[in-house]
Amino acid sequence: MTTIQTGITVEACIQACLDCYRHCQHTALTHCLEQGGKHTEPAHFRLMLDCAEVCRSTAALLLNESAFATELCALCAEICERCAQSCERLGDMQDCQHHCEYCAETCRQMAKAPPSPHHARRTGAAHPHAG
């Protein structure tokens, strides 16, 4: 399987983004809404949905083999990190926190990948065989 210098495949980054999207979207709309209190305070709840939105869009740019995908990965890493911290403060959001932390780390590595005109195309070659 094709990998980039950092050892992270584009495919693994897409997977991490979609997993993080799933967990943030689902946890916000079920666990957080049902718990209420600190779980629906605007700062936390918005972060959950911002994170879901940006993870979904980052996956889209990676799937498009966009020249801008790594820039969006850098921003996605920031948002995921902040969301993980917010989950940690609440204390009963370990599963969501874990997915945010993993996605942050994966996107951060993807963002560091050396820019190259042929980069996206080559690494992207692995996608069609993705799960």
- Binding footprint of a copy of itself on the chain (CB under 8 A): 14, 18-19, 22-23, 25-27, 29-31, 33-34, 36, 40-42, 45-47, 49-50, 53-54, 56-57, 59-61, 63-68, 71-72, 75, 78-79, 82, 95-96, 121, 124, 127-131
With both helix axes pointing from N to C terminus, report the angle between 69-90 and 94-112 in degrees, rounded to the nearest 10.
160
User: Residues with Cβ < 8 Å from 87, sequence gap 6 or more?
Assistant: 93, 94, 96, 97, 100
Q: Find the shortest distance in angstroms from Cβ 50 to a copy of itself.
A: 4
Q: Find the shortest distance in angstroms from Cβ 82 to a copy of itself.
A: 8
5 or 30: whose CB is closer to a copy of itself?
30
- Residue 59: exposed, middle, or buried by beta-carbon count in 10 A (0-12, 13-18, 19+)? buried
